[in-house]
Amino acid sequence: MKEAIIQTVGLTKIFRNVIAVDQLNLCVTPGIYGFLGPNGAGKTTTIKMLIGSLFPTSGEIEILGHNIAREDKMDIHKWIGYVPERPTYFMHMTGEQFLETNGRIFHLPKQENKAKVAALLKKVDLVEAKDRKIAEYSAGMKQRIGIAQALMNDPRLLILDEITSNLDPIGRNEMVDLLKDLRTEGKTIFVSTHILSEVQKMNADAIGIIDHGHLIIEGGPDALNEKWGVKTIRITPNHAAFRDAISSDTKNLSEDGNSLVVEADDEEIIWEKIAQVSLEQKIPVTEFRAAGMEIEQLFMKAINSEKNDTRDAETREERGKTIRRREKQGRGDGDA
């Protein structure tokens, strides 16, 4: 069993009568965790509860084995580095001043603070821009100084809300590379995004897909493929004899140039049939490659299955009201 860095049980947030986050059971283990979902799914609300800035309506959160409801806020910030979706930094400061100010907040001794700031500026590639005001930074630079700030404390966990969403393609690639570097250093990175391809680029170790406040699936790419059971298989050449042999065992059969692309539950059966035809008719197979579904396909499947779920907007609102009535013992709703 891998160590759980974040674990939530029944995490729920209700604003007025609408469930923003619905009985979320997350289990985040070391590596990059992509928290994926369309706008309004409940990602930011979840993150605000994880970092202790919003009280859950109900449910529990453990970070590195600590139940955060019982911890001091300052302690939580020793474990977590956080970059919000739309950071509002001290725009009048230079990048270097901003980081040094943060070091002082954490009472770092002067020399240690200076060394740390220099190392982090290097890590996020802002050495040359360190004397420029943050207000003049590009979107990507602002996000990178945010990451440097989040790392001042050397936390094991980084929580990043839509870190790539406002960046241009170059800024995105730089950010993805930075996150991968940080993973190599042993950081766990919980990153929310509504952009599917981002999670793929990051090569996320696990993903959780959330929609309407509800966790649809969670797991490593392999586990998710296992669960959804469909494999994409590419077969070259695209020969009529191959197509005929496997057509009854595939869900979807398409042609891509000189290759056949099929979806099937069982790659063994497909391989047996292809191999047989290949031997009998002397058609060499130059490629037979099975891959799990791409995250995009998983995402679409997940969203479609959610649509078929009975939990439509109205029932969610009804459930919200019911839970609200039960929860009348008055826990806070607003930002802490």
Ligand X SMILES: Nc1ncnc2c1ncn2[C@@H]1O[C@H](COP(=O)(O)OP(=O)(O)O)[C@@H](O)[C@H]1O
DSSP characters over 242-266: HHHHHGGG-SEEEEETTEEEEEES-
> Which residues inside 257-286 make contact with ligand X, applying CB under 6 A?
none
Q: Taking Cα atoms as reference points, which of 46, 1, 45, 41 lies closest to residue 26?
A: 46
Among residues 14, 24, 32, 41, the one that binds ligand X under rule CB under 6 A: 41
Query: Whose Cβ is closer to ligand X: residue 35's or residue 137's?
Result: 35
Among residues 6, 14, 20, 99, the one that binds ligand X under rule CB under 6 A: 20
Token pair of 109 as six digits = 């001794």
Residue with the two structure tokens 């994926």: 36
- The count of other CB atoms within 10 Å of the CB of residue 58 is 16
In the complex, the residues that contact Mg ion under the rule CB under 5 A are 43-44
Q: Please, what is the minimum distance in Å from the beta carbon of residue 85 to Mg ion?
A: 5
- Candidates 40-48, 226-234, 285-293, 306-314; binding stretch for ligand X (CB under 6 A): 40-48
Query: Whose Cβ is closer to ligand X: residue 240's or residue 313's?
Result: 313
> Which residues inside 189-218 make contact with ligand X, applying CB under 6 A?
none
- Candidates 34-42, 98-106, 166-174, 286-294; binding stretch for ligand X (CB under 6 A): 34-42
Among residues 42, 140, 221, 292, the one that binds ligand X under rule CB under 6 A: 42
Among residues 30, 37, 56, 103, the one that binds ligand X under rule CB under 6 A: 37
H-run or E-run covering 73: helix 73-79
> Which residues inside 142-181 make contact with ligand X, applying CB under 6 A?
none
What DSSP character marks residue 38? -
- How far, in Å, CA of 173 to CA of 303, rounded? 27
Position 43 contacts ligand X (CB under 6 A): yes
Please check whether residue 335 is in contact with residue 48, taking contact to mean a CB–CB distance below 8 angstroms: yes
CA atoms within 13 A on the CB side of 314: 1
Query: Whose Cβ is closer to Mg ion: residue 7's or residue 44's?
Result: 44
Report the partner that residue 221 touches, choosing among ligand X, Mg ion, none (CB closer than 5 to 8 A by kind).
Answer: none
- How far, in Å, CA of 21 to CA of 37, rounded? 12
Report the partner that residue 239 touches, choosing among ligand X, Mg ion, none (CB closer than 5 to 8 A by kind).
Answer: none
Residue with the two structure tokens 């019982």: 70
First to last CA, the chain: 34
- The site for ligand X (CB under 6 A) is made up of 15, 20, 37, 39-45
